[in-house]
A = this chain, B = another copy of it.
Amino acid sequence: MIVTTEVSKLTAAAAAAAPVFDRNGRGWRARLLRGIADELEARREDIVALAERETSLGTARLVGEHTRTVYQARLFADVLDEGSYLEAAIDHAGDTPMGPGPDLRRQLVPIGPVAVFGASNFPLAFSVPGGDTVSALAAGCPVIVKAHPSHPETSRLTFDVMRKAARGLDAPEGLLGIVFGQDAGAALVADPRVKAVGFTGSLTGGRALLDIVGAREDPIPFYGELASLNPIVVTAAAARQRGRQIAEGLVASITASAGQLCTKPGLVFVPSGSDGDALVAHSADLVGRTDAGMALNERIHSAYGEIGGRLSRLDGVSLVAEGSLPAEAALRIHPRLLSIAAGELTADATEECFGPLTIIARYGNDAELRAALDRLPASLTGTIHAEPAEEDHIVELSELLRVNVGRVLFDGFPTGVLVSWAQTHGGPWPSTNSQHTSVGTSVIRRFLRPVTWQNAPQFVLPPELRDGDVDIPRRVDGRMQLPG
């Protein structure tokens, strides 16, 4: 009850801020994002130190994540400057086969206040000052963040840093809000003033919020990025040519951040036979020599034990290797490599296990591989390790993976998602909104909706839709035009 009142106050302030924020325009919002980036940079040491205290991610990773977070905020300022994200279009009045047509001008507008749920595994880049927040701000939407309980102080500090930047530009006070706790998060998603939700987390958590969305009088877009298996396929030729090298990249990718990345490869198809055996043996050796990492919280720790146990007890699954687990094992999760025959890969074996666990699926021939790929759930990524000469095979595998993923990689590993213009971090369900990405510049599209003005006087139109030269690409009578 108290929670609902508190949330209501924040959403009312956000709704009041929305039109002011929108009117401030692209230039102002670009300044806001650069101001946020500058403030985050100025407080780097404090932020990283606090995140280090609250998480087990370590300095190097957190410094890298901080760099990425600052870069991301500045990149969205560039997106605003460039302006094609508005999808501005003008159709002049004129004759059509259906009779005279009106003057129509279309542009994307902010969707309204957005709720952003911070993630446990990225206390910066996918939390309070992360991609969902800065893209929603770039779009012109006030943001209320639900802080992740694994790093409340980091959330508070980064929120204060962002608010300082906003106040420095006389932003409306309701532009940024923060709430703590599960009840407040649920109230936020149910609140009629919230117009979209960005969420990175578990399938269970996402489904629960999606149910709240569905029960609203006006269901709203829910952008959840919930689970991913990230299959890798190694061809026989690749196993033969560079099995050792693949094993090294693979184990590094599995154990980075103790496997607590949504792009961790959870399933690797390795050919049967001696080359595949050698690749597996080398991977096993590396895993066996890798120490246990730290789970980000108790929930992840216990789920890792539980799901890992379930997977290892499945028919046909055997343990290939595991890292050492120290005696004082509080929150420790140790890397594990399991193995199964590709033909025995049931739906039970494709459950995501968040943490440093991977299943090796051994396949005897390409038909078996194809059949197994065909049965996989959708993932964020799919990866192929092949030799250049295998053109037809690569094309076939690529198409098989592509229908089920948002990113297809070649001869690399899926962890490490660059924030850039051409990035996609999404895919079919369990990404809840398959039309979109949650990393890269086009994430901004999630928080925008189109509006058309018909026969509007010039003074009513947003500046980007008025007659004359503008500083953005736009479509005029069906043809794209670049500025100046």
How many copies of this chain sit in the oligomeric assembly? Answer: 2
Query: 9 smallest A-B Cβ distances: which pairs?
Result: A218-B429, A424-B452, A106-B422, A89-B422, A104-B422, A91-B422, A409-B454, A407-B452, A424-B450
Which A residues between 426 and 467 are near B, CB-CB below 8 angstroms?
426-430, 432-437, 440, 442, 445-446, 448-457, 459-460
Q: Among the listed stretches A168-176, A264-272, A390-398, which one makes contact with chain B, having 4 or more residues with CB under 8 Å of it?
A: A390-398
A291 within 8 A of B: no
Q: How near does chain B come to A217, taking the closest CB pair, in angstroms?
A: 8
Residue of B nearest to A475 (CB): B421
A220 within 8 A of B: yes
A287 within 8 A of B: no
Q: How near does chain B come to A219, taking the closest CB pair, in angstroms?
A: 6
- A219 and B432 contact, CB distance less than 8 A: yes
Which residues of B lie under 8 Å from residue A456 when comparing CB positions? 398, 408, 410
- A434 and B418 contact, CB distance less than 8 A: no
A431 to B172, CA, bound (A): 30
Per-residue CB contact flags for chain A residues 93-116 toward chain B (1 = under 8 Å, else 0) read 000111001101110010110000
Which residues of B lie under 8 Å from residue A219 when comparing CB positions? 210, 429, 432
Interface residue from B102, B424, B454, B482 paired with A451 (Cβ < 8 Å) = B424
| Count of A interface residues, CB-CB < 8 Å | 90
- B104 and A67 contact, CB distance less than 8 A: no
A301 within 8 A of B: no
A447 to B117, CA, bound (A): 27
Q: How near does chain B come to A149, taking the closest CB pair, in angstroms?
A: 27
A328 to B214, CA, bound (A): 44
- B91 and A421 contact, CB distance less than 8 A: yes
- A460 and B418 contact, CB distance less than 8 A: no
- B478 and A480 contact, CB distance less than 8 A: no
Interface residue from B67, B84, B395, B410 paired with A455 (Cβ < 8 Å) = B410
- A459 and B391 contact, CB distance less than 8 A: yes
- B101 and A420 contact, CB distance less than 8 A: yes
Given A91-B422, A104-B423, A420-B104: A406 in contact with B478 (beta carbons within 8 A): no
A4 to B24, CA, bound (A): 54
Q: How near does chain B come to A366, taking the closest CB pair, in angstroms?
A: 17
- A402 and B451 contact, CB distance less than 8 A: yes
Which residues of B lie under 8 Å from residue A153 when comparing CB positions? none
A64 within 8 A of B: yes
A399 within 8 A of B: yes
A288 within 8 A of B: no
Residue of B nearest to A83 (CB): B480
Known pairs A106-B424, A435-B450; list 9 more (Cβ under 8 Å): A19-B399, A64-B98, A391-B459, A398-B453, A408-B452, A435-B445, A435-B446, A437-B450, A480-B480
- B450 and A84 contact, CB distance less than 8 A: no
A68 within 8 A of B: yes
A165 within 8 A of B: no
Q: How near does chain B come to A447, taking the closest CB pair, in angstroms?
A: 9
Which residues of B lie under 8 Å from residue A220 when comparing CB positions? 429, 434
A103 to B482, CA, bound (A): 25
A411 within 8 A of B: yes
Listed A/B pairs (20) with beta-carbon separation below 8 Å: A67-B98, A68-B98, A71-B96, A82-B479, A106-B422, A195-B428, A210-B219, A221-B434, A391-B457, A395-B459, A405-B451, A406-B452, A409-B454, A410-B454, A410-B456, A423-B452, A426-B449, A435-B435, A435-B445, A436-B450
A412 within 8 A of B: yes
A468 within 8 A of B: no
Which residues of B lie under 8 Å from residue A323 when comparing CB positions? none
- A454 and B408 contact, CB distance less than 8 A: yes
- A403 and B473 contact, CB distance less than 8 A: no
Q: How near does chain B come to A189, taking the closest CB pair, in angstroms?
A: 15
Which residues of B lie under 8 Å from residue A445 when comparing CB positions? 435
